[in-house]
Structure formats: structure tokens, C-alpha cells
Amino acid sequence: MFKPISFDLEETSKLFGQKRVLELRGLSNRLIREAAIENNFGKAELGVIAYALHKIETKQHFLNNKKWHQVKVSISTSLNSALFAARNNNSTQLIEKLKDIIKSIVRIDAQLGNYAQGIYEKAKTKQASLAYSYGLSLAQAAELTGADKKELQSYIGFTKMIDEEEEQKSIIERVDELRNLVEGRA
């Protein structure tokens, strides 16, 4: 049995507050694993948030900016409110608070980030690829974290995940089958 989301929120809040970025990333990975196994969208969302927060906390230009410190306070408040909501089984408020955190991340990233593709979007793809590695289909993994399927497909293409799985049929066999089919021999 996995831990309840209130436990995960408490952990996220603590690790984020204490700038324990590697542990935050580890927590994100655990959340995605559990979300993939249980098809739990709440854990998946928190997993993506934790990953995005870890990413921001490794970027010097964010850490050196006053605006980020203001946003960090607001995110911490939202995490605590989400924790309160989770403890009281108030799922509507919990979702609302998680959405507030996402908005804060997206907004500050638009102001301080260096890339056209935002940190949160990248986090969705990155963690969807992790969900895919747990055996989910591409579509399921994309749906779980809200990642774009095209983006995810391309991301997975550059990983070694596919190389780890043995195929049922080789290209040679499939090409033979396809040839027979189009030439009307199958």
C-alpha cells in the first residue's frame, strides 16, 4: 500500500523549503511510479510539480532573483493549504491549490526562464517518460502527467528505454510480412 497524498505533500513542502533538490527529485520519481501503478492523477500532478520545483532550485538565475523568493513563499503557502485540504479529504480544494502552484511555476518561468519551452511542460514530458518506463503505453503515460504525446514520443526516442526491450519480431521478419501483404501473397 502506498502512502497517502497528504504524506507526499508534507514531504514536498519540507524538501522544497529546505532546498533538498536531489531528494525532491527522488520524491517526484517515487510519486510517478506510484501514480503509474495506481493510475493516480493527483500523485502524478504532484510528481510533476516536485520535479519542476527541483529543476528551478538548481538554476542559479532563479535563485539569484528576488522575484523567485517571493514566488517560493507563495508556493510554500499553497503546498501547506493543499496539505490541509488533503488531510480534510477536500479534493476540490486540493486540486485548486495544486493548480495555483502550477500557475505560479509557469508565470515565474515565463519571466525568468531562458527557454521557449517552459520548465513545467518539460517536467510533464520527462516524468511521463518515467511513467512509460513502468510499462504504461505512450498515450496512458502522456495522459497521466498531461504531457503532449508528440513531445513524449520524441523524448522517448532519444532514450535507451526501447533498446532494453526484446522485440517479438525483427525488422527482417516484419519487412517480409509487409512485402507479402502488399504483394497479395499473405
* 3 near other proteins, judged by CB under 8 A: no
With H, G, I as helix, E, B as strand and everything else as coil, classify residue 46: helix
Which sign, positive or negative, has the C-alpha torsion 68, 69, 75, 78?
negative
Q: What is the DSSP code (8-state) at residue 58?
A: T
* 106 near other proteins, judged by CB under 8 A: no
Least distance CB 99 / other proteins (angstroms): 21
Question: By C-beta, is 21 or 161 nearer to other proteins?
Answer: 161
Question: By C-beta, is 70 or 177 nearer to other proteins?
Answer: 177
Tell me how far apart the alpha carbons of residues 160 and 104 are, in angstroms, rounded to a whole number. Answer: 33
The letter for the amino acid at 149 is: K
Residues between 6 and 65 that touch other proteins (CB under 8 A): 33, 36-37, 39
**Which set of grid coordinates corresponds to residue 95?**
486540486
Among 13, 74, 153, 185, binds other proteins (CB under 8 A): 153
**Which set of grid coordinates corresponds to residue 159?**
532514450
Nearest Cα residue to 94 out of 103, 102, 84: 84
* 101 near other proteins, judged by CB under 8 A: no
Residues making contact with other proteins (CB under 8 A): 33, 36-37, 39, 116-117, 133-140, 143, 148-150, 152-158, 162-163, 165-172, 174-175, 177-179, 181-182, 186
